[in-house]
Structure 1
Amino acid sequence: MSNEKLIEICCCSVDDVVEAEKGGADRVELNSAFEAGGLTPTLGSLIEAKKRTTIPIITMIRPRTGGFCYTDFEFDTMITDAKLMLQNGADGIAVGILNEYKNIDLHRTNVLVELCKSYNKEIVFHRAIDITPNLIESAHELVSLGVSRILTSGGKQRCLEGIDTINELMHTVSNQIEILACGSIRPTNLDEIISKTNCNQFHMALMKDLCDNTMKHSHINFNGTPNEQMYKMIDVDQVKAVKNIVNR
């Protein structure tokens, strides 16, 4: 296995992708609605990001928040969104589909695997795997389906808490599928994480808070939060910091 470390940055806009590339990101995952855990981005954001950047872009395919067991209409929407993203420059898609028992929905996942194969693009199974009853068994199922990569925090909220399971995945399946570690990874803890695992890919959301003055002192509330004027954007300085760490 190569010792080279790869940084993937979670992005929610064209500006984010541009800033991530400036900071040295090797790859990005493009979403919308960061505050909802990441949903399918607009097709326009993918097209405009591809115009302005050169690093690989994986697009999230997630039609709603609240879980990962989808209706037939939602799954049809996922297929349509995936086709559109792949046809318009996405280097791959990130999905996570479970059944009502929290196990991987093998049939639906396979449909999207075959779709990505037809475009010669990657497919990532995202952190939905972290709530399956047996993460290691789920990983073996994804290997059998031909999934390209697993995004995981080791079944815990934070990477450091799940590092033992991430290491077990590295030991058992990393020669068959890529393991992308995630979960509250920051410049302040990346050194420690690297010291405790042989995993060589790290996914991070390195954001800073910005203010949109149009919502200051507004008498109308649109999303029910007390600080509605605040939003997040990729912090290029944090991206540079983690890139410097992995380049040591």
Structure 2
Amino acid sequence: MSRRLEICAASLHSARAAQAGGAHRIELCQNLEQGGITPSYGLLRQVLRELTIPVFVLIRPRPGHFAYDAGELAIMRADIDLSRELGAAGVVLGALTAAGRVDVAACRPLLEAAGPLPVTFHRAFDDCPDQAAALEDVIGLGCRRVLTSGGAATAAAGAAQLAALGRQAAGRIGILPGAGITAANARAVLAATGAPELHTSAKRRVTGPQPASMFGAEQWETDAALVAELVGLLAD
């Protein structure tokens, strides 16, 4: 049974590498070191021009918690509108109450803005203390899948909870394991969870000479060879 691989790509280079390695879909974002935020207009437009695989767009206006005010929700709706206009294949979003419940009232207009685009509820889900209740809320909203580590630091550590969520979902929504997925643990996560797809960034630290800059920072990019290795493992 062939399973699918989604790559979280935070740059044009990473998006290109994901496609070159055989990924089936990307989640496009920026600022991945803080969990990812909505990509810029320029990045989104260029990626959609170059890639032929589906591009899902992260809709997250800032790093940090997932309880949004009215202004932030308006920004998210505008970013969903833009993603649709530019031809994205789907969007990835989530909003919670201060108590850690799925904010159904905030999410519903976002899904309405998405229209026919499939929606993934992102790892805000892992901030929910009661994941069983959260899953029912996400299903009720009409999301296509939920990206989660099962509330653990990694999907491998949360495999038992991911399996429980899959049983609860019973085909009503897809459970997409993510966080810390590598070639070393991908098969074990698949076996433990029965998931039909996995999510990872498949990145390496960029090495080699860099222009001197007082603003220099460590750089990580998706690596096509790592993607290809994972795709091969999922196909076996």
Matches within 5 A, 1:59-208: 59-117=57-115, 120-208=116-204
Per-residue deviation, 1:235: 0.7
RMSD of the TM alignment (CA)?
1.3
Secondary structure of 2:108 counterpart: helix
How many residues get paired? 235
| Distance in 1 between residues matched to 2:160 and 2:68, nearest whole Å | 31
Q: 1:237 — aligned with what?
A: 225
Unmatched segments (≥5 aa) in structure 1: 223-227
Task: Give runs of ≥4 in structure 1 deviating > 2 Å.
Answer: none
Question: Is 1:159–1:181's contact at 8 Å kept on the other side of the alignment?
Answer: yes
Higher relative contact order (CA 8 A, sep 6+): 2
* TM-score, normalisation: structure 2: 0.95
Per-residue deviation, 1:174: 4.0
Per-residue CA distance 1:66-94 (angstroms, 9 max, x = gap)? 11111211111111111111111111111
Q: Tell me which amino acid in the other structure corresponds to 1:203.
A: H
Secondary structure of 1:213 counterpart: coil
Secondary structure of 1:161 counterpart: coil
Segment of structure 1 superposing worse, 192-201 or 135-144? 192-201
Secondary structure of 2:158 counterpart: helix
* TM-score, normalisation: structure 1: 0.91
Q: 1:247 — aligned with what?
A: 235
Question: Is 1:206–1:239's contact at 8 Å kept on the other side of the alignment?
Answer: yes
Per-residue CA distance 1:175-203 (angstroms, 9 max, x = gap)? 11111111100011112212212111100
Per-residue deviation, 1:135: 0.6
